[in-house]
Structure 1
Amino acid sequence: MCDLRKQNKLCDVTINVGGRAFHAHKNVLAVRSCYFLAMFTSGFKESTQNEINIDGKAEIFEKLLDFAYTGELMVTFETACDILEMACYMQFQDVCKSCSSFIEDAFRYEISKISSMDDVVRIHHLAKYLDLPKHVGASAEKYMCHHLQDLKTSEVFFETADEVFLEKHLRQEDFSSEDEEKEVLEMVINWLKHDWENRRQHTSLLLGLIRLGHVPEEKLTELLDEEILELPECKLLLQQTREALQTNCSKRERAKQLPNLFATRSTVTAPIHISTEYSKDTSYSKVFSYNKSWTSHYRFRLPYIPSLIVVDEHLYAAGGLKGTVDSDDFWETETRYQVSE
């Protein structure tokens, strides 16, 4: 049937999408898509027409058409969102399931394939309005939460995100390091400015959730312009920040007095995984750390089954066995390793 379609033989419908014409067989489309099944069998005018116009991207529809005939679909993270959106609209149920699984696997196992935050934001947005598995939207939201600072240039995020999302994730204590606080501030300001008239009412709340005391003075001056400082609450936040920085108080004292401005967020960014793989030749385990991607630390020479704890991006290893697994010889010392890259 695919060869017949490509040769335009026995085709009984032409579908115009994005300036291109695609010849097809109604029965093939109806088998794969509930959308086309209803179109061709429910008495709509299209059921008697041999030419149909559909909105969308021609290259994406071509992939769905190829799937209808071959059952095969080539998906990348860059095309997954467009394919998923059109497949859901046209009710290609098998494609929707395949794309959802592909996206979930990308978030779980192949983070390196995620090259655009706009794609992640679109997936999160689509998950709200399309009948997608809950874990797809949850995975996209989790990824966005861990990369808030990378959203500062995402036009799709500025268009689709709401204050509820921002407030929820700005309240978390482990989303960024101190160095990233200024990037998050810039993201929030850009989101507000994108639709200032409708979003200005959320300014004081959102800025109050950012540790302004960790943002360099020049960045505060650049981002907190006259329009923002016209709001009394925002002006007060900046005034409190500057006054506290001019005192002789220590960082700890400032954090205690004004925790909303100076308290340090959690900086533990490396959940540690000790591989079950154990080398009898070297009597050491392998160590992996996670900081937005998995990294193998071959330089760590840990004994078998040590006790581990992570504090301020350092791994502390204590105890464990020397020699072989059956050895009664124990390590008695503690070793500290730097795990952040």
Structure 2
Amino acid sequence: MASTVAKDQDAGSQMKSKDNISDSKNSTDTDNRHGTDMMQKFHSFLNQSKFCDITINIGGRSFQAHKMVLAAASEYFESMFSGGFVESTKSEIEIEGDGPAFKILLEYAYTGKLTVAEGNIVKVLSLACYMQFDKVIKECSTKLKDYLYDGKILCEDAFTVAMMAKSYGEPVDELLDWAVSAMAFYFSTFMTTETFLADMRAELLEQVLVEPNLACSAKEEEALTGLINWLSHDLPTRKQHAAKLVKMLRLGVIPAAELEKAGDFFDKHDMAECCEILRRIVKSRQPKCGGSSKGADSDELHDMFTPRNIVTAPLVIGGSEDDTTVSYFNKRNVSWTTPPWKFVLPPTGTGKIMGHSSVVVDDVLYVVGGSEGLVHDGCDDSYNDDLDGKEELFLNKLRKYDPESNSWKELAIMQLLLSDFALVHLDGLLYAVGGKGYDGEPIRSVECYHIGENKWKSVAPLKCDYGQPKAVVFNGNILMYGEEVDYYGTPLDSYSLQMYDPVNNVWNKVMSEKYLKSIFDEPILTVQDGECYRVVRQIDKPKTMEEEFESEGEMHVNKIAIKERGRTGRATAVIGKKEKQVPLKCRNAFCLNGKSICVSIRGQHTCIRHRN
């Protein structure tokens, strides 16, 4: 009898189980929008305050919601409403946090849409970590990396992110390095804030002071001043960390007067170990018998005499009437953005610059020639309504940008108005090669600028006309590559390479190649690891401009070998086989054998080294 009852109970439980769980084999998905429609209905109930069973008071504001929706979106609420917590039986609860941030999370729970920007992302992420909104944490973390790197959030917020990463660990621990890097990058500003002086932890400050990025905004003596101000804010508590933090700085590159001031502070407050470190630095600077300085007296002090690392970042300067920005290549997320070090102003008064060339010499950026686009000249152009009353304003100006002083300066003007020309640096001289004159027609002239004397002069001209020539310095000579054109700029279906000998002031054509069924678009010359390469996009010869613009083509990277030929010893160039290449995630950027070989984005591109 008992056995029969047990069987009946088992059967009943199995029936209930079958009633509660849908049979996926026999079910049919009649509406794949069912889940979306259901959430929209819940959102409608929320807006109408229908069937809400919980009120959440947070940050001085009250929000009605449905427990089921909150529990589905957050493990925090799922535990709160389903466990043995007192909140599970209440219809109104108090939570510490930011009201506007919770409103964003509440909206996400009902719609799946996350609305965050630079001004609120840190508060939203902090609350999402606390309330365990996992998908929000992931999305905010991704966006926050870009904001931190591009300087779109305050240093105080970067500090909050760092503390959050230390507190919550795994969900956001990868943000710690980004936050530390951002605080270091803007240290000269950050060290003056109340957040830095009052809230900065010793272990976090140590990470900031050792960061290479510290040199991007603050000199070592400024960082030392910031450290002393931080110590002074709570000297009894922080004094114990002084010696360890002082060792993080490159004391060997700090002027003697600044070290003396710091020594007086440490001596006054009985910081003997700090005084000893400074004494050893000063002693290492003293000259030996031969006249040179002794240098670091131990491996421990060696790094203190070594400047922080220098990195190279490709820059793009303008390029069109609509693009007036200076941007750099962000290696971390493979994109272009405004530089974290702020340029005071664009290189022209209007901000518009196109057809110009640029080069970097000793970490100073030179921008030459180009035009400011179409400007009104007061005249009418009956042939083209788009050009009515406008003319292109060409430039012959030379400007330089110095990252140290964060300013532009005008130098000697060129002899000609030029655009779309090549610019290279060789032995203290800038060479402006070919290009177009003010009338838009190609010219063969080559001008040379002496950096030390601030003067331009003409040198030997090219052997023929080119459309947008490209040039590099290779083995003490200048190589120039481009498409040959006639007097009016019409292509002649051939490319050639010329080589300039600065000693004899002569150009020689060392290579020429014809194309019949295809053309080379946007050719580039580049020198990497002592080898010269040509980079081109080869496309089928288009019938229309639209076909040329839409064609992807095939990228070619070829090594160029310069050889001597015959008794005259005249040089010739040979194009080698196609090299292995791997494109980066941006237009016309390439790697050769894993190394960056060239970057050609809109406008004029160059590279500038910045302290990092």
Which of 295, 299, 304 is the matching residue for 1:256?
295
Cα 1:18–1:243, aligned 2, differ >3 Å: closer, same or farther?
A: same
What amino acid is the match of 2:131?
Answer: M
- What is the alpha-carbon distance in structure 1 between the residues aligned to residue 86 and residue 63 of structure 2? 19
The aligned residue for residue 363 of structure 2 is: 313
> Are 2:303 and 1:265 aligned?
no
What amino acid is the match of 2:254?
Answer: H
Cα 1:244–1:136, aligned 2, differ >3 Å: closer, same or farther?
A: closer
> Are 2:243 and 1:204 aligned?
yes
The aligned residue for residue 145 of structure 1 is: 184
Q: Percent identity?
A: 28
Cα 1:87–1:175, aligned 2, differ >3 Å: closer, same or farther?
A: closer
> Are 2:340 and 1:292 aligned?
yes
> Cα distance, 1:117 vs. partner?
0.4
> Are 2:481 and 1:323 aligned?
yes
The aligned residue for residue 97 of structure 1 is: 138
Calculate the TM-score normalised by the size of structure 1.
0.73
> Cα distance, 1:53 vs. partner?
1.0
What amino acid is the match of 1:313?
Answer: D
Query: 1:179-208: CA deviations, max 9, x gaps?
Result: 612221122123323432232122223334
> Cα distance, 1:254 vs. partner?
4.5
> Cα distance, 1:83 vs. partner?
0.8
Cα 1:159–1:50, aligned 2, differ >3 Å: closer, same or farther?
A: same
Structure with the higher fraction of residues in helix conformation: 1
The aligned residue for residue 230 of structure 1 is: 270
> Are 2:240 and 1:82 aligned?
no
SS of equivalent to 1:191? helix
Contact 2:247 2:304 in 1 (8 A): no
The aligned residue for residue 162 of structure 2 is: 124
Cα 1:140–1:60, aligned 2, differ >3 Å: closer, same or farther?
A: same
> Cα distance, 1:175 vs. partner?
3.8
> Are 2:107 and 1:59 aligned?
no
> Cα distance, 1:253 vs. partner?
3.8
- What is the alpha-carbon distance in structure 1 between the residues aligned to residue 315 and residue 172 of structure 2? 32
What amino acid is the match of 1:146?
Answer: F
> Are 2:43 and 1:2 aligned?
yes
- What is the alpha-carbon distance in structure 2 between the residues aligned to residue 166 and residue 201 of structure 1? 14
> Are 2:349 and 1:180 aligned?
no
SS of equivalent to 2:64? strand
The range that moved more, 64-73 or 151-160, is 151-160
> Are 2:237 and 1:193 aligned?
no
> Cα distance, 1:239 vs. partner?
5.8
What amino acid is the match of 2:215?
Answer: S
Contact 2:243 2:273 in 1 (8 A): yes
SS of equivalent to 2:93? strand
> Cα distance, 1:122 vs. partner?
1.2
- What is the alpha-carbon distance in structure 1 between the residues aligned to residue 111 and residue 216 of structure 2? 49
Cα 1:37–1:239, aligned 2, differ >3 Å: closer, same or farther?
A: closer
What amino acid is the match of 1:92?
Answer: F
1:207-218 aligned at under 5 Å gives the runs 207-210=246-249, 211=251, 214-215=254-255, 217=257
> Cα distance, 1:287 vs. partner?
10
> Cα distance, 1:170 vs. partner?
3.9
> Cα distance, 1:121 vs. partner?
1.4
How many residues align? The count is 316
Unaligned runs of 5+ in 2: 1-41, 320-325, 331-338, 348-353, 366-424, 426-471, 484-494, 503-605
Calculate the TM-score normalised by the size of structure 2.
0.44
- What is the alpha-carbon distance in structure 1 between the residues aligned to residue 217 and residue 77 of structure 2? 53
Q: Which has the higher contact order (CA 8 A, sep 6+)?
A: 1
The range that moved more, 319-328 or 6-15, is 319-328
Query: 1:85-112: CA deviations, max 9, x gaps?
Result: 111111111211111111123245xx14
> Cα distance, 1:264 vs. partner?
5.4
What amino acid is the match of 1:265?
Answer: P
The aligned residue for residue 375 of structure 2 is: none
- Determine which structure has more spread, i.e. the larger CA radius of gyration: 2
Query: 1:225-252: CA deviations, max 9, x gaps?
Result: 367542223344556677899x899xx9
Cα 1:98–1:301, aligned 2, differ >3 Å: closer, same or farther?
A: closer
SS of equivalent to 1:328? strand
- What is the alpha-carbon distance in structure 2 between the residues aligned to residue 201 and residue 128 of structure 1? 22
Contact 2:137 2:172 in 1 (8 A): no
Query: 1:60-82: CA deviations, max 9, x gaps?
Result: 11111122222222112231111
Query: 1:298-339: CA deviations, max 9, x gaps?
Result: 75457xxxxxxx885258662374132753324566xxx994
The aligned residue for residue 305 of structure 1 is: none
> Cα distance, 1:153 vs. partner?
2.5
Contact 1:41 1:47 in 2 (8 A): yes
SS of equivalent to 1:137? helix
- What is the alpha-carbon distance in structure 1 between the residues aligned to residue 607 and residue 138 of structure 2? 42
Structure with the higher fraction of residues in strand conformation: 2
Cα 1:190–1:12, aligned 2, differ >3 Å: closer, same or farther?
A: same
Unaligned runs of 5+ in 1: 279-285, 303-309
- What is the alpha-carbon distance in structure 2 between the residues aligned to residue 32 and residue 287 of structure 1? 39
Cα 1:128–1:9, aligned 2, differ >3 Å: closer, same or farther?
A: same
